Amino acid sequence: MADFPTPETRWLTDEERTAWLRLIAVTMLLPSRLESELKRDAGLSHFEYYVLAMISETPERSLLLTEVAARTNSSLSRLSHVVGRLEGQGFLSRCTSPHDGRASLARLTEAGWAKVVASAPGHVEEVRTVVFDSLEDGQVQQLSEICARLLGALDPQHVLLGLGERLP
Amino acid sequence: MADFPTPETRWLTDEERTAWLRLIAVTMLLPSRLESELKRDAGLSHFEYYVLAMISETPERSLLLTEVAARTNSSLSRLSHVVGRLEGQGFLSRCTSPHDGRASLARLTEAGWAKVVASAPGHVEEVRTVVFDSLEDGQVQQLSEICARLLGALDPQHVLLGLGERLP
DNA sequence: AGGTTTTAGTTGTTGCTTCAAGTAATCATC
DNA sequence: GATGATTACTTGAAGCAACAACTAAAACCT
């Protein structure tokens, strides 16, 4: 659209272009692969699994919705709908935070915990087959470092990795 | 679910786990970043842009829907809806293939070509800021190689890169 | 204390995606 | 050269996500 005032487009080199096409292909295929594996084996969407798994890793097996939303890069609206569904299926329950009347905690039920325990191995196996089995030893470290740098641009506060607030 | 016959889950090492969390964060954030940039600057979804851009790169500025679907990892159904919309906006037109009465060609209109020309620089700039400006020189090559390996598992036929059929 | 602002979450609408079913042209086979 | 199978797409219904508008609690600010 507004193409004129721009000094000059810095087009991609061939090397960059190839890397880009491959990266974009990965970001298209990887989510849908995980999606269908989880749907088939656990009856959950990847997002639903991710929410349950994240809550399951806390000591109390409960998390503030705001916190879940931040760590999953989801809007509170989306999360509210999804948590409503998961609650309807009996995997978690909502209760108002004792410290803050606005906030609600999502707490895993026994069924929810069981669901995670049952689904995790298959999911990890899938991750292993798709990602790590394909890579040489050194490449895991390389991938990690590269993604860390990309996240520096995509998520400067590192909210998604749950490191949002590291107190001073 | 069926968790028993599995020999033993091969859990992720710490290094792998970190790499995995970062990779998954990237696959969550990168698409939505491109999505909002394109929506804002060009009024297109990333998928719509990708379809137009892919067609624009052919000599005739036209492609079979099947081919587009394969290269974008989209179902024909999804593509049919999207192409319908893009046609409604005047960015492309459909016509039946002369060689195969079942197949249809999507051909860019002048407006469609203009749209791609207008949107591409901003999009490339965004890609550069988010991805390549963050990386050291060697890392572009590393990323490219790593993604190529992942695609080996995700897309063994390399359909997405448009290399599906290399005739004998 | 009172009023504004910010934060946390919910709800409803709109639109895109997926899924299932259907049509029509072509290929394959006998 | 008819019949069955496959391929290429279309269509309609259902579900999920994005967006906007709303409620309510807490924090902030004199």
What percent of chain A is modeled with pLDDT above 90?
Answer: 84
A60, exposed or middle or buried, with CB in 10 Å at 0-12, 13-18, 19+? exposed
pLDDT at residue B85, rounded to an integer: 94
What residues in chain B have per-residue pLDDT under 50? 164-168
pLDDT digits (tens, 9 = 90+) for A98-123: 999 999 999 999 999 999 999 999 99
CB burial of residue B26 (10 Å; 0-12, 13-18, 19+): buried
In-domain check, residue A142: no
Beta bridge partners of B58: none
Measured N-to-C along each axis, helices B46-56 and B76-88 cross at an angle, to the nearest 10 degrees, of 80
Answer whether residue B162 is part of any domain: no
Q: What is the pLDDT of residues A1-51, one digit of tens each?
A: 555 555 678 899 999 999 999 999 999 999 999 999 999 999 999 999 999
Q: Which residue is nearest to nucleotide D24 (CA to C1')?
A: A102
* CATH number, residue B93: 1.10.10.10
A65 within a domain of the structure (yes/no): yes
CA–CA distance, B79 with B85 (Å, rounded to integer): 10
The pLDDT of A70-80, averaged and rounded, is: 94
Instruction: Calculate how close chain B gets to A135, using CA atoms only, in Å.
Output: 7
Whether A83 is in a domain gets the answer yes
Total number of domains constituting chain A: 1
Residue A166: predicted pLDDT: 35
Q: Please indicate whether, in this complex, the C-beta atoms of B9 and A124 are within 8 angstroms of each other.
A: yes
pLDDT confidence of residue B168 = 26
At residue B91, the pLDDT reads 95
CB under 7 Å from strand C: A 32, 36, 39, 64-66, 69, 76-77, 79-81, 83-84, 94, 97, 100, 102-104; B 45, 47, 74-75, 77-78, 81-82, 85, 100-102
Q: Tens digits of per-residue pLDDT, B124-166? A: 999 999 999 999 999 999 999 999 999 999 988 777 776 544 3
pLDDT at A127 exceeding the cut of 90 = yes
CA end-to-end distance (rounded Å), chain A:
44
Inside any domain, residue B160: no
Token pair in block for residue B131: 């991805």
Query: Which range of residues forms the domain containing residue B75?
Result: 42-154
**Least Cα separation, residue A139 to chain B (angstroms):** 7
**pLDDT at site B165:** 40
Q: Is residue A166 included in any domain, yes or no?
A: no
E-strand ranges in chain A read 62-64, 92-96, 104-108
| Closest residue by C-alpha to C1' distance, nucleotide D23 | A102
- Top residue of A127, A130, A143 to mutate, by most chain B CBs within 10 Å, is A143
In a domain, B105, yes or no: yes
